[in-house]
Structures are given as C-alpha cells and as structure tokens.
Structure 1
Amino acid sequence: MKRLLAALLCAAGFAAAPAAPAQTLIQHAPGRQVLSLNGRWNYIIDPYENGFYDYRRMAFDQSKTGKGGYYDNAKPSSRQEPELIEYDFDQSAGLMVPGDWNSQDPKLLYYEGTIWYKKSFSLKPAAGKRYFLYFGAINYEAHIYLNGKKLGMHKGGFTPIQYDITSQLNATGDNFVVVKADNTRHAEEVPTINTDWWNYGGITRDVFVAEAPETFVVDYKVQLAKNDPTRLAGYVQLDGPAKANQAVTLNIAEAGIKQTLKTDADGRATFSLPAKKLKLWSPQSPKLYAVRLSSGADAVTDNIGFRTIQTKGQDILLNGKSIFMRGISMHDENPLIPGRARGEGDLRMLLTWAKELGCNYVRLAHYPHNEAMLKLADEMGLLVWAEVPVYWTIAWENPATYQNAEAQLSDLISMGKNRASVVVWSVGNETPLGDPRLKFMTSLVTKARSLDDTRLIAAALELHRTPDNVVHVDDALGESLDLTSFNEYAGWYWGGSPSEITKYTFDIKYNKPVVISEFGGDALAGYHGDAETRWSEEYQEALYVNQLKMLSTIKGLRGMTPWILADFRATRRQHPVYQNGFNRKGLISSTGVKKKAFYVLQDYYRQMATKYDGK
C-alpha cells in the first residue's frame, strides 16, 4: 500500500515516484543454514475465498480480532462444546512443494483462483539467532501467515518472498505456516490478463527457513567494475543491531585477494580493488571463484565468476572480444513431466539440451526464472538474458502497475547481480507502441541502469512491414537500449510459406548489435509432409533454413534466441490435432524428441562457433 500511495501522489511521472524501502532480500539465501519446508503441504481449494472473507465480504485478517480465516488452522475446542469449523487442513489432501497445482491434480488443470496451503514444522528458536521464511516463488498474489499471524502480502509470481520470523516463532518449537495463493489474472497486474503460457498456480519454488546471526551479511555485489577487467568493485551490506562501524572481510583466496572493509552508519561497505590476477569467466571457460564474506560471527561463501560485457558499434564484446550469441529461448517448464520445473534436475536437463544444440546463450522468457537456473548457467558456461513479465498490453497508465513492474525488476536484478552468466536485463516483450508505454518502459530502463550499470539493457521491440517486403525496426524505445532486439515470425504468422521468407529485407534504425529475440513456427513431432505442409517437421525445418538465410543478411546480426527450446503448455493453443493445449514451436517435443529443425540450428551454430570462437 505504501508503494501504491507513493505512486498515486506522484504527479511528475513514474520515474520520480518515491518507493517505500523494502526488506532487502538475502543474497544467496539457499547458501545459508536452512530448514527445508519442501515436501507435502495440505491444501484446500477455495474459489469463493471463504477462508479469507466473511459473508459480508470483509477480510478476516482486517477484523478487530484478526481471527476467523483458514490461516487460524483451527480445531474444535472440545466434543462437548464444539465450535463450527468448516475446514480441516490435517484431513485435507496434499500437494508437493515446490510444484504447481495444475499438474498435480486433474481437476486443477485449468483452475484459477485461491488455494490455501498449510505446513507444520518444528523449529525452536535459539538465542542470538535470526530466522527468515523464504519462498522462491508463489504465483501470483500470496498472503502468508505464521502461527495464525499475518506476515504480509506479495504480488508477482516469479520473484522471491522473504519475512523475518524470529519473533513469531513459538518457543515450544511447534509452528505452522499457511499460504493463500491466488493465480487469478487481472488487467492491472504484471503480467496482465493475456499471455501465451500456462498460468501455473501455487508454491512453485523452494521454501525454507534460513538462519543467521543477529547481525549478518544480508546483501553484496562482487563483480568487475564497468568495462574494467582489472578492478573489482561492489559493496557488502550488513543487517542487524550492530551493523554500523563493523569490520567486513572480502576474501578470494585462489586469486590472492583479501581486504578488510569498515561499514558506514547504514551498515554498508563499498570497495574498489585491483583484480589483475582473476581469470575471466566465459562460455568456453566458465571459471568460478569461492568468494567469502565475513563479519563478526557471520560468514557466507558464494561461487562467483568475473567478466565484462559491453557493446561497441554493432559488436557485443565479452571480455573485450567480439562474440556471436548462439541462443535459444526457454520457459521455466519441464515438458517431460508437465508443470513448472521443480528443481535442479529439471533445470539442468533444459540447459544440457541448450548446450547440445550448440548454444552459448539462453533467453529465460518471459519472467524471472529460478535463482538456481542462473547458478547452473554460471557453472555450465551459458550467457543469460533475464526478463520481467512486462508482456503485451500492460496497464501503462496505472501507477500501481508500474510500481509492481519496477519491484519485480528490482528483485530480479537483486537475485542475479552476482551471476556472471547474466549479461542482459530485459524490461519487456512485444509491447505495443504509444506514449504511455514509452514512458513506462523507459522508466524501467532508467531503473535498471540505476541498479546495475555493468550489464546490457534490452527488450523485444515492435516492428512493422511495408508492401515492398521491408521489415522496419524503428521503435522509439530502441533509443534507450543497448541492443536492437525484436521478434519476427516470417513464414508462420506472416510472410507466406518458408520458401518466401528470403524475399524480406530489414531497415533497422539503430547502429547497435542486433539480437533476434524470437522467430519460429510450430511442428508436431512425428508428423511429416513436405516443406509446404504446415505443422509438419519438414515445414519447421524449411522455415529455419530460410530464416537463417534471411537473418544472415543483417549487417549487425550478433545473436539470436529462436522460439523455443521445447514445446510448452499454452491455454491459447486449441487445435485438437496439432496443439491440444501446447505451443509446438519447440525444437524438442513434449516427449523429449528432437525435431528436424533442431539439427538445422545446431549446424548453423557450429558454423558460428568456428567463425567467432575458432572451434
């Protein structure tokens, strides 16, 4: 509400809206000592939200007593004087967490609304310790309660949620957490009502309680200074009662770097150090260093890589060397076991497929992906385009919508700022032209640059075609960005058959590197015909052959992420024979079969690797 009020009071524009300070997300939270709350949670389906509102539609948690909602986890007090309680978590069915509800129960496949989750756990708080309840993601609006008391509400289906629960834990060690998860779509939310992916509901990423000393390292950024491979720059932030004027030690033993810093009154210590001995991270050599940060009773170790990324004219320079970004787009979804990716095994499989394709780069569309995905990309040597779900037609003139988008962008950057793999922050996808949209999007660009000036900023721009078969890229948003990126679907949504694709040429306004963010077409794996038979593997194969010919004529082409690595669920895709609820543009089917187009792109990427990497 504070963010909304601040936005409504702001008359000078989105960028000038003062934001209320948010609780700092714990950097590398899974690396702390944690109590996992993954596993079976009891659940109650609540489409009328009976567990949240009374019959007058008044929220129970806003009443004088704060009682009456399902979050009470109530039981009748006795058999002689029973209370009327019309729910019982302990007798209810279970859902596995992490995991969406749609793929775990057939009756929930299309469900949009409220589901209540409850988990009991044992944790007896120790003196001198602090405890944080951490959710990797809940889609979309989450109300979170501990031991019957509300911790807070969070909007955004793909960013972490964190609460300090030290004072709310029961001294006996018996605790329970209740979550109201609601994946209902709304026009003013981010994303908005209309998307082209499945609206998976529920607690979709890891849940745990992280333990820390009373004063601890809550946040840090340890990266190379902007465009300077010889200097390490960043900060360390302490949180707690003794955060001011404290010694903080940065130690990268393998590189011979050790420096003791002193925090200021706000608990922050900034640094800029020589770093000439660091071996730089790259897809060919994804070197990671154990970086240890310590202060008093606290220490945290994170595996971090170091590299520079910049543009020069129409070149993208990684560590000062021109590269071609051989990429693929992907969703946070396991096609083999329907539903959101549930853990490292699912994520590693997706990135292994990308590596087999010949990629050095992945676009994690169209929302923030699991933090574990970024760490795997670091380890496996894959560059990353990371994105927020400002997608299609957002409520551009609603200040609360902007504040929501900015908060999600800030959380994404916080989550990924120490990952060498992340080289692009994307502020949106296929957003329609107009002044309100331009104001909204350029404000996000400004925010991203204020949070991180060491990475490239991009978005999938709009384009238009003229009768002379020219594709024009002159979206005014492109002025603010580092890359010229756009989605084009010649041969599928426009432009005739695959054989007609090569008639198109491009008129691109900006003298910047061109990275094609999407192209492609659907194919049902195992369905065969000739190159003119829509939905066949041969059609998709011919489309890729001719797309690559057409795109290779673009002088500044420096990368691409075709749409998409694997088939994925999408409610919009209704054809009962070829789609059946799936977008079939994947190069790999929903059963793991590689389609013919996979090998076309793989061969092209081998050629580009030889040209740019000498392989």
Structure 2
Amino acid sequence: MLDIQRVLKAKPKPHERAEAVRLDTPWTAELAEGTPLCEHPRPQFARSGIDILNGWWDVAFGPKPEGSPSIDDHPTFDGKILVPFSPEAPASGVGRRLEPNETLWYRRTFDIPELAGKRLLLHFEAVDHACTCWCNGKQVGTHEGGYLPFAFDITDALVGVSAEIVLCVTDPSDTGTQPRGKQKLQAGDIWYTAQSGIWQTVWLEVVPAAHIENVRMDANPDDGALHVRARTAGPDGDFYVWLLDGGRLVAEACVQTENGVAAIDLPVERPCLWSPDDPYLYSVQLAFGDDSVRSYCAFRTVGVERDAAGTPRFCLNHNPVFLRGVLDQGYWSDGLLTAPSDAALIHDIESARRLGFNMIRKHIKVESDRWYWHCDRLGMLVWQDMVNGGTDYSSWHTSYKPTLFSWSWTRFPDDTPKHRSALSAGDAAMRKAWTDACMGTVRHLANHPSIVTWVLFNEGWGQFDAAAATKAVRAEDPTRPIDATSGWYDQRCGDYFSIHNYFRPLEVLRDPAATPRAFVLSEFGGLAYHVDGHSALELDYGYETYANLDELKTAVRAQLAAAEALESKGCCGYVYTQLSDVEEETNGLLTFDRKINKLVKE
C-alpha cells in the first residue's frame, strides 16, 4: 500500500536556492599547507619516479571559442586555484562556477626530471568535462569525459630544465547530454552543485620507452590460478610476473610478448580467499625490460547462485552473503566531489563498517582509485554505479509515475525511440558517450576485488537498451554480476530484480523474468534530520523528516530491521539511503561535514 502522506511530504517544493554555509570537515585545515592528496594515486599499478602536481595553480576564466581552443585564447591568469579541487568547491579557493559558455584555464610550471632516454607521462585522474592540454606551448592532447583517468606523453614537448603546462576546460554541465552524475546548474533536493575542471590528482610519471601500459588480472580460486593479461609499449620482449604472499614467493612466470600483448596463467595451490572478514591480498610484481610495476590481487569469486532452498542469492566464494549496503554519493562539504584527504576516504569506509554495513553502493560516481584500494584492503564490498547522462530528466517518467504506479516498474521497454526519448536518451551521441564511459569504467576498475557488482542504470536516468548494455558488460567482464536497472524499468536482464522502495511497506516482489534472479532492495530509507551547525543549508530534504535525533534513531533502526527481515523471505540484500548528508539532503547517517554520526550522537 502506497503511503500517500509520506509521498506528499517528500515531494520537492519550489524554492530559491540559498547560499550554502561553509562547513569545514576534520581534514580541511590540512589543505592550508597547499599539498593535498599527495599519496600515490594508483596503488594497484605503482611505479617509483612519480611527482604529484597537486597544489596551487594559476587560473583564469574566459569566453568559449567558436571552434577548438588555441593556447593564444587564454586570458590573463589573474587568480590561484588549489588543485585538485574544482573551482566551485570551497576548498579550491576560487568560489566561482564555470558557465557552459565559458572556458576554464589552468597553468603551472614544474622541474623536468632526469629522463635519460625515458618518457614522461602527464596523468589526470579526472577532468570534467572536455579539455585541451599544452606543454611549453605545444598541444600534447585532448580528452572528453569527466570521470575517468587519462594521460598524455609530453616528452617531445620538453625543453631545458623546466616546463609549463596549460590546460583549457569546457563543461556544458546539464545543458549537455554527456555523463555528469548528479550535478546540476540549478542544484536542489537530490541534485547537487555542478562542478568543472580538474577534480582528481594530477601527476607526472617517468616510464622507460618500452613499458607496461596496462594489466588485467583475474585471481580465480576455482581453477587455482592467477590469470594475467598485459599490454606493453615498445619492441616485444620478456614479460615477468611474480606472486608474493607477505614477501614469500608463491609463483613466478615469464613469457615473450607478441605484438605488445602478454598472457600468463600462474597456478596457485590452495590460495587464501578474500572476504570482508579476511581481506587477504597478495602482492604482484610485474616487469618488462627496464620497467617495474607493483600491484596486488585477491582470490575470490562473486556471483548469483541458488541456496539450499533454491533461492537466488548473492554469493562470495560460493557462500551466500546477505548484503547490508549503504548508498554513498561521495560528496564533501569542503571539496564537493573531491575528498579533502586520503584519511577522509578511509573515514567513510570505516564509518560504514562501524554502522553495521558490509557493502557500499558508490552512487553515480567513479571514485578516486585510492578509495577502491582502501575498500580492497579493509574488506568492504562495493556495488559500482555507472555515471548517468542524458537530456533533462522527465519528472513524470523518472519519479512521479514509478512512485504512484508500481506496475510501471516492469512494463516500460527502453529499446524503442519513443521510450528512449522519454528516458532522456534519445540523442545518439549521448548513448555512445554513456556506452564508452560504461565500458571504460569496467576496464579501469576491473582489478579491484572489492567491486562485486556493476550497476548500469538508476531510476531511468538516461536509460536505454539495458539488455544490450548488460550483454556488452558481461562480455567485457564475465566475473561479476550485473544490476542492469536499479529502481525501476526492469528489462528482465542482469542478475538482480532490483527495486527502490521509499513509500511502501518493505517486501520481496515476484521476479518478472523467466529465470528468477536475486531480489535486492537496492534503495530504501532516506530518513532525514537537520543538525544545526552541521548542515550546509537551512533548507533540508529527505523522504521523511524527524524533529529530533531520538526519533530519527528509532525510525532508522526500525527500517533496517524491516529490511533485515526480508532475508528469510528471499531478499539477497539492501541498500540504505544514505551514508552522509549532501547539501540540501539531510538524510545521511553522517553529517555533510563528517563531524557527527547521527546514530551514535548522545
């Protein structure tokens, strides 16, 4: 039975967006030193000889040119920005939004390291959305896509002992159709401040001319082997892999690359299995010519299997594990999309664990690689969302209709031109951009053992051809289950029948697919409480608001208990909304500034 009163209370109300109050996190003070996020950005693919370029850069805003930007277009650099924070984030020191009709320019110099015949790569972990880069006035590359890392080889542009980098960025935000997550120029309710430009670490890396470009690892305990597939640059040669357990050599192998590709299968007898209770990691050393890379892996299997009663369940190492998940937007009061420090990333994971959750659903965002590394080593399961895109979302199709009419959850095909347009996916360029970003996300994160499910579409936001997308992701990564449509507009594909339920009694629903999938309550809760002095805005939003903390605690615990009770009825897990407050949303278990845990505050 639909709770109409709760629906009406939760309906977003038109209002003016107030100016947000600056909220410092416990890590904000560290940013005054001007060297944020100085740890190695890629613990799973690490070399020595890197230089982190985070810190104060020159910045300027200018008009957007008619065609491609030229370095001669840059305006006078009249300000400073603390990289890697977007100019919209308080931590950046800028406090200004990049408009869709503007360009954002960055500049800094660096000392050229000793190369001696080696190459110098300039890495950007994430830049939103499109950028052009010059080194010493020479264009070295362009990139589109706001959530995935990329690199430019700048060696041939280097002269003398120092070099200058200039970066030009444009970002249409939600005036475009590109994958953008929950960013919106007119933020409010469940939509957050639009951000632009560099928002993850920038760094330099020295590599040999012949080097390892990337590696894919599958540590499979079922066949007792570590499967390694690598791509190399330069002439073919010997490729080495060593597997170590606490410094003890477990296995080693060497093969000759063929056309820049190496494939090695290392037998491993009785490997120790990775789990949340024992997140056991093996060290991996890779070598090719003069190149050496440090990595790690974990032996574990994930999938949907039937339990003894025949009920489909999420299984880890072939054992059913009930998923106690929490939704994590990955937003911070000082850095917005960017965590203020590595310790802040750890804090959120450990807070989720202390609250009783064994899984985090990373919502509509690709996090920094270090966040996944911490989940790997701490034993936190991750459901990874793809970043949504599309035109303006129809409130009727993505919110009102599915809220009022649950029958619509399974009766709206997404593979017709009319329905694609209804779900804001009518633009072919948008569909290609989403597909490219989806496949790029899978390739980028595939080696992390903590990631146990890919989530493709959420609540119909830019949804299209979910069955085809499921097939493509399955071909790229057959080792993980897929939640094809989280919330509604199920297409009878993927491994889960995935439902959001904020306004009805919690229950397990009958799967409409011919072959039953695991039922998951992939969002529920959203209970809100505004903590004075720890909320960014006087306005607050949630699916039900409480007058005091005691009432909130009682209601949250009752909701979690109701979700827990679904396990015996065939549910494989749940995702509570949400880990922390974000701007107007005060339905977090932690405040936006991470200073108060609402469930434990006395």
**TM-score clears 0.5:** yes
- Mapped to 2, the partners of 1:112 and 1:30 lie a distance apart of 36
Q: How does 1:295-374 map to 2 (within 5 A)?
A: 295-313=288-306, 314-335=312-333, 340-374=338-372
1:133 and 2:122 correspond:
yes
Does the Cα contact within 8 Å between 2:85 and 2:335 map onto a contact in 1? no
Query: For residue 495 of structure 2, what is the aligned residue in structure 1?
Result: 482
Query: For residue 263 of structure 1, what is the aligned residue in structure 2?
Result: 257
1:32–1:480: structure 2 CA closer, same or farther, 3 Å change rule?
Answer: farther
Query: For residue 108 of structure 1, what is the aligned residue in structure 2?
Result: 95
- What per-residue deviation string (whole Å, max 9, x for no partner) do you get for residues 166-188 of structure 1? 21222443333323253533342
- Partner of residue 589 from structure 2, selected from 587, 592, 600: 587
Does the Cα contact within 8 Å between 2:126 and 2:148 map onto a contact in 1? yes
Query: For residue 470 of structure 1, what is the aligned residue in structure 2?
Result: none
Query: For residue 41 of structure 1, what is the aligned residue in structure 2?
Result: 57
CA shift at 1:307, angstroms?
A: 0.9
1:413 and 2:442 correspond:
yes
CA shift at 1:303, angstroms?
A: 2.3
- Partner of residue 283 from structure 1, selected from 276, 298, 308: 276
Does the Cα contact within 8 Å between 2:279 and 2:378 map onto a contact in 1? yes
Three-state SS of the structure 2 residue aligned to 1:68 is helix
Query: For residue 544 of structure 1, what is the aligned residue in structure 2?
Result: 556
Q: Over alpha carbons, which structure has the higher Rg? A: 1
Query: For residue 73 of structure 1, what is the aligned residue in structure 2?
Result: none
Does the Cα contact within 8 Å between 1:336 and 1:590 map onto a contact in 2? no
- Mapped to 1, the partners of 2:95 and 2:450 lie a distance apart of 36
CA shift at 1:315, angstroms?
A: 1.4
1:201 and 2:196 correspond:
yes
- Mapped to 2, the partners of 1:533 and 1:120 lie a distance apart of 50
Q: TM-score, normalization: structure 2?
A: 0.76
Three-state SS of the structure 2 residue aligned to 1:450 is helix
Three-state SS of the structure 1 residue aligned to 2:350 is helix
Paired residue type of 1:270? A
- Mapped to 1, the partners of 2:349 and 2:108 lie a distance apart of 32
- Mapped to 2, the partners of 1:238 and 1:207 lie a distance apart of 23
- Mapped to 2, the partners of 1:532 and 1:271 lie a distance apart of 54
Paired residue type of 1:332? G
- What per-residue deviation string (whole Å, max 9, x for no partner) do you get for residues 196-241 of structure 1? 233222311110111111111111122224x72522223122112x
1:418–1:58: structure 2 CA closer, same or farther, 3 Å change rule?
Answer: closer
Does the Cα contact within 8 Å between 2:273 and 2:299 map onto a contact in 1? yes
1:515 and 2:520 correspond:
yes
- Mapped to 1, the partners of 2:527 and 2:313 lie a distance apart of 31
Query: For residue 236 of structure 1, what is the aligned residue in structure 2?
Result: 230
- Partner of residue 210 from structure 1, selected from 190, 205, 211: 205
- Mapped to 1, the partners of 2:547 and 2:337 lie a distance apart of 24
CA shift at 1:376, angstroms?
A: 0.7
- What per-residue deviation string (whole Å, max 9, x for no partner) do you get for residues 339-365 of structure 1? 621341221111121121122211111
- Mapped to 2, the partners of 1:199 and 1:206 lie a distance apart of 19
CA shift at 1:103, angstroms?
A: 2.3
- Mapped to 1, the partners of 2:379 and 2:172 lie a distance apart of 34
- What per-residue deviation string (whole Å, max 9, x for no partner) do you get for residues 384-411 of structure 1? 1112112684642323212211222222
1:271–1:349: structure 2 CA closer, same or farther, 3 Å change rule?
Answer: same
- Mapped to 1, the partners of 2:448 and 2:239 lie a distance apart of 21
- What per-residue deviation string (whole Å, max 9, x for no partner) do you get for residues 287-316 of structure 1? 111101112111111122221111113111
- Mapped to 2, the partners of 1:110 and 1:249 lie a distance apart of 48
Does the Cα contact within 8 Å between 1:521 and 1:540 map onto a contact in 2? no
CA shift at 1:158, angstroms?
A: 1.4
CA shift at 1:250, angstroms?
A: 1.0
Structure 2 unaligned residues grouped into runs of 5+: 1-40, 185-189, 307-311, 394-422, 533-542
Three-state SS of the structure 1 residue aligned to 2:457 is strand
- Mapped to 1, the partners of 2:297 and 2:337 lie a distance apart of 30
Paired residue type of 1:88? T
- What per-residue deviation string (whole Å, max 9, x for no partner) do you get for residues 560-606 of structure 1? 2211101112xxxxxxxxxxxx211101112435455579xxxxxxx
Does the Cα contact within 8 Å between 1:143 and 1:181 map onto a contact in 2? no
1:293 and 2:293 correspond:
no
Does the Cα contact within 8 Å between 1:520 and 1:540 map onto a contact in 2? no
CA shift at 1:541, angstroms?
A: 3.7
Q: How does 1:424-435 map to 2 (within 5 A)?
A: 424-431=453-460
Paired residue type of 1:210? E
Does the Cα contact within 8 Å between 1:145 and 1:152 map onto a contact in 2? yes
Query: For residue 162 of structure 2, what is the aligned residue in structure 1?
Result: 173
- Mapped to 1, the partners of 2:114 and 2:154 lie a distance apart of 10
- Partner of residue 474 from structure 2, selected from 411, 435, 449: 449
The count of corresponding residues between Structure 1 and Structure 2 is 500
Structure 1 unaligned residues grouped into runs of 5+: 1-24, 62-66, 71-86, 464-474, 496-500, 570-581, 600-615
Q: How does 1:529-608 map to 2 (within 5 A)?
A: 534=546, 536-537=548-549, 540-551=552-563, 552-553=565-566, 555-569=569-583, 582-592=584-594, 594=596, 596=598
- Mapped to 2, the partners of 1:135 and 1:363 lie a distance apart of 25
Query: For residue 20 of structure 1, what is the aligned residue in structure 2?
Result: none
1:506 and 2:504 correspond:
no
- Partner of residue 73 from structure 2, selected from 55, 69, 75: 69
Three-state SS of the structure 1 residue aligned to 2:180 is coil
Paired residue type of 1:36? I
Paired residue type of 1:480? C
CA shift at 1:140, angstroms?
A: 2.0
- What per-residue deviation string (whole Å, max 9, x for no partner) do you get for residues 511-570 of structure 1? 22223222122423448xxx996465455445434434543346221222211101112x
Query: For residue 19 of structure 1, what is the aligned residue in structure 2?
Result: none
1:94–1:181: structure 2 CA closer, same or farther, 3 Å change rule?
Answer: farther
Three-state SS of the structure 2 residue aligned to 1:544 is helix
- Mapped to 2, the partners of 1:262 and 1:142 lie a distance apart of 37
- What per-residue deviation string (whole Å, max 9, x for no partner) do you get for residues 11-51 of structure 1? xxxxxxxxxxxxxx9994554521221110110122x33xx
CA shift at 1:444, angstroms?
A: 2.4
- Mapped to 2, the partners of 1:133 and 1:333 lie a distance apart of 26
- Mapped to 2, the partners of 1:97 and 1:258 lie a distance apart of 40
Does the Cα contact within 8 Å between 2:459 and 2:485 map onto a contact in 1? yes
**How much identity, in percent, do the aligned residues show?**
22
Does the Cα contact within 8 Å between 1:520 and 1:543 map onto a contact in 2? no
- Mapped to 1, the partners of 2:349 and 2:339 lie a distance apart of 12
- Mapped to 2, the partners of 1:347 and 1:289 lie a distance apart of 22
Three-state SS of the structure 1 residue aligned to 2:193 is coil
CA RMSD of aligned residues (A): 3.0
